């Protein structure tokens, strides 16, 4: 449990920790990071009355994951942010071991938040088949800052009999005057899947159908999301337990999407192949929302659970950040991720860096267009991105705390756009049809390519007050 009272009684500790955080040379300049402690999944993303709300899984008093509640930042323009007080605390018998991930659904000027209340029993349990509750809970809010009461909507006994106790991360959408909730789940045969619940009032949800792949694709699908883009249904999820293949599924857990054609009236669907959303070391639990301008925006956790690499930021009492927001587009069978246009407001005076030229900026956006040859780029002194024989290689060198080499097959590279922050890189290839996001820990900020010309914009900081 971590309730509001505990949080307020320990503000001194938070202050001390955040003083440490602010001394970290790796502190991001244009990414959302926790004031202190640990951050994971983005939650409850929405825009209401012009204000964007970004919530996230948050352990304020511990730089390693511990008591999880919902942290919160808000913004009118995605450049100037306000740190709000934590939103959902772990303070009831239904979420006493963590206010786990969830989402927002805006209806009639009211935000409905759905999340998973985690409960772990004391005793000798495996916590997969026994010893755990995953409760689906709703809170309603007008302003995104305060809410009424916690309403318990679904408990273990409402999930199909062949499920393990891992059923979580609700995401809601509406179609033909009904509301559908997607929940990520693991069944007793260790197959990952999505459970679909249906409601006419956003409160009483009943089991509707299951979405699964024909062949087993991992033992658990976390953080499902569903939306349509350019008429194509997209099912995002994070499968755990997928075998590594050459050039594919290189992280311990995956984050990607299936193109899906949903026929809800007839409880039918067609699932396409799974595509990874990102090929870097640190990208997980993406969540999307449609903003008031009709853009489908994706934000992910720039981290990876249970990875065998680490972050030196723990010395400064914090860990992890969110990715930059990316606008999604779908065209001719391809999904594109494009950094939101607001980020252009951070640009300072443009520099041209001809091939062979060097620069030691730390925080910048760099792009190269009309690429027609193989290439090598130094992103830090010992971090290299190279392209040869239709293989893109990201070699993290010696200073990235266990992150090593990533290779992906790409037939042809036409353009590259790189966002470099103090301790992260987000690399968008071919208009964002391939992306690599990673944390990077080198203080040797050398940027250089003998093969490509670059246009570079040093970037200003976002403001987080």
Does 222 help bind ligand FRU (rule: CB under 6 A)? yes
Q: Which is nearer to ligand FRU, 221 or 428 (CB)?
A: 221
Q: Give every CB contact of residue 303 below 8 A, 6+ residues apart in sequence.
A: 39, 40, 282, 284, 319, 320, 321, 439
Q: How far is the CB of 214 from ligand FRU (least distance, A)?
A: 24
Q: In angstroms, what is the minimal distance from the CB of 223 to ligand FRU?
A: 6
- Measured CA to CA in angstroms, residue 385 lies from 208, 358, 404 at distances of 46, 15, 12
DSSP 110: E
Name the minimum Å distance from CB 334 to ligand FRU.
26
Q: Is residue 246 annotated as part of the catalytic site, yes or no?
A: no
C-beta closer to ligand FRU: residue 150 or 380? 150
418/449 Cα distance (integer angstroms): 13
Answer yes or no whether residue 312 interacts with ligand FRU by CB under 6 A: no
Going by C-alpha positions, the residue among 448, 454, 441, 339 that lies closest to residue 398 is 441
- Residue 223 interacting with ligand FRU (CB under 6 A): yes
Give me the least distance between CB of 278 and ligand FRU, in Å please: 14
Location of structure tokens 């391809």? 334
CA–CA distance, 87 with 99 (Å, rounded to integer): 10
Closest alpha carbon to 70 in 59, 80, 82: 59
Q: Which CB atom, from 90 or from 449, has the smaller least distance to ligand FRU?
A: 90
For ligand FRU (CB under 6 A), the number of binding residues is: 14
The contacts found for 93-97 with CB under 8 angstroms, 24 or more apart, are 93/119, 94/119, 94/133, 94/135, 94/137, 94/150, 94/152, 95/119, 95/135, 95/137, 95/150, 96/1, 97/1
Which residue number, 168 or 406, has a Cβ lying nearer to ligand FRU?
A: 168
The site map against ligand FRU for 155-174 (x = CB under 6 A) is -------------xx-----
For 241-313, list the strands marked E by DSSP.
Answer: 256-263, 268-271, 275-276, 284-290, 296-302
By the 8 A CB rule, do 176 and 264 touch?
yes
Helix, strand, coil shares, percent, the chain, to 5 = 5, 50, 45
The catalytic residue among 12, 24, 41, 451 is 41
Cβ distance to ligand FRU smaller for residue 41 or 63 = 41
Of 47, 57, 251, 311, the one binding ligand FRU (CB under 6 A) is 57
Rounded to a whole number of angstroms, the minimum distance from the CB of residue 217 to ligand FRU is 17
Q: Does 287 bind ligand FRU (CB under 6 A)?
A: no
Query: 38, 102, 46: which is closest to 303 by C-alpha?
Result: 38
In the list 40, 287, 323, 442, the residue contacting ligand FRU (rule: CB under 6 A) is 40
Q: Which is nearer to ligand FRU, 100 or 283 (CB)?
A: 100
Nearer residue to ligand FRU within complex by CB, 56 or 445: 56
Tell me which residues in 375-434 interact with ligand FRU (CB under 6 A): none
């951070």: which residue's tokens? Answer: 346
The answer to whether 282 contacts ligand FRU (rule: CB under 6 A) is no
Residue 100 in the binding site for ligand FRU (CB under 6 A): yes
- Closer CB to ligand FRU, 75 or 116, in the complex: 116
For residue 258, give Cα distances in angstroms to 103, 108, 213, 237: 20, 31, 10, 8
241 binds ligand FRU (CB under 6 A): no
Q: Tell me: does residue 41 bind ligand FRU (CB under 6 A).
A: yes
Nearest approach in angstroms of CB 190 to ligand FRU is 16
Residue 5, H or E segment: helix 4-9
Kindly state whether residue 136 participates in binding ligand FRU, applying the rule CB under 6 A: no
Among 116, 135, 251, 287, binds ligand FRU (CB under 6 A): 116
**Which residues in 426-465 contact ligand FRU (CB under 6 A)?**
none
State the minimum distance, in angstroms, from the CB of residue 169 to ligand FRU. 5
211 makes contact with ligand FRU (CB under 6 A): no
DSSP-derived secondary structure for 139-171:
EEESSSS-----EEEE-GGGS-TTEEEEEEEEE
Give yes or no for residue 285 binding ligand FRU (CB under 6 A): yes
Neighbouring CB atoms inside 10 A of 78's CB total 20
Number of neighbouring beta carbons within 10 Å of residue 276: 18
Q: In whole angstroms, how close is the CB of 187 to ligand FRU at the nearest point?
A: 16
In whole angstroms, the minimum distance from the beta carbon of 144 to ligand FRU comes to: 20
Between CA 56 and CA 86 the distance in angstroms is 9
For tokens 């929302």, the residue is: 289
Asked if residue 302 binds ligand FRU (CB under 6 A), the reply is no
Interface positions with ligand FRU (CB under 6 A) = 40-41, 57, 68, 100-101, 116, 168-169, 222-223, 284-285, 305
Catalytic (active-site) positions:
41
């Amino acid at each position: 449990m971590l309730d509001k009272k505990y949080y307020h009684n320990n503000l001194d500790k938070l202050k001390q920790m955040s003083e440490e955080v602010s001394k970290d040379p790796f502190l991001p300049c244009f990414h959302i990071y926790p004031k202190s402690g640990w951050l994971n999944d983005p939650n409850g993303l929405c825009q209401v009355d012009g204000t964007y709300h970004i919530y996230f899984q948050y352990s304020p008093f511990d730089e390693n994951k511990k008591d999880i509640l919902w942290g919160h930042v808000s913004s009118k323009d995605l450049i100037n942010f306000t740190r709000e007080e934590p939103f959902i605390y772990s303070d009831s018998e239904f979420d006493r071991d963590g206010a786990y991930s969830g989402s927002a659904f805006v209806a009639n000027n009211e935000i409905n938040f759905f999340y998973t209340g985690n409960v772990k029993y004391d005793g000798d349990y495996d916590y997969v088949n026994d010893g755990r509750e995953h409760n689906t809970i709703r809170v309603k809010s007008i302003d995104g800052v305060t809410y009424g009461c916690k309403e318990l909507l679904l408990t273990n006994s409402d999930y199909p009999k062949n499920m393990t106790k891992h059923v979580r991360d609700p995401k809601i959408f509406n179609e033909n005057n009904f509301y559908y909730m997607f929940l990520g789940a693991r069944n007793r045969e260790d197959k990952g899947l999505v459970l679909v619940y249906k409601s006419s009032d956003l409160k009483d949800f009943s089991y509707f159908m299951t979405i699964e792949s024909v062949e087993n694709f991992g033992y658990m699908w976390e953080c499902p999301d569903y939306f349509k883009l350019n008429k194509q249904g997209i099912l995002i999820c994070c499968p755990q337990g997928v075998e590594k293949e050459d050039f594919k599924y290189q992280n311990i857990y995956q984050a990607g999407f299936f193109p899906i054609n949903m026929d809800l009236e007839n409880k039918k669907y067609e699932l396409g192949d799974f595509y990874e959303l990102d090929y870097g070391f640190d990208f997980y639990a993406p969540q999307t929302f449609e903003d008031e301008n009709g853009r489908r925006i994706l934000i992910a956790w720039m981290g990876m659970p249970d990875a065998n690499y680490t972050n030196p930021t723990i010395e400064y009492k914090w860990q992890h950040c969110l990715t930059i927001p990316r606008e999604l587009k779908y065209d001719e069978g391809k999904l594109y991720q494009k950094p939101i246009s607001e980020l252009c407001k951070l640009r300072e005076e443009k520099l041209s860096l001809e091939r062979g030229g060097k620069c030691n900026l730390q925080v910048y956006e760099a792009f190269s267009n009309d690429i027609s040859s193989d290439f090598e780029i130094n992103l830090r002194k010992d971090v290299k991105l190279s392209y040869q024989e239709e293989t893109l290689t990201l070699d993290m060198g010696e200073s990235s705390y266990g992150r090593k080499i990533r290779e992906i097959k790409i037939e042809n590279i036409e353009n590259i756009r790189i966002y470099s922050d103090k301790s992260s890189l987000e690399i968008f290839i071919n208009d964002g049809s391939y992306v690599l996001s990673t944390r990077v820990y080198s203080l040797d900020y050398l940027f250089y390519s003998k093969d490509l010309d670059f246009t570079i914009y040093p970037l200003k900081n976002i403001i987080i007050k």
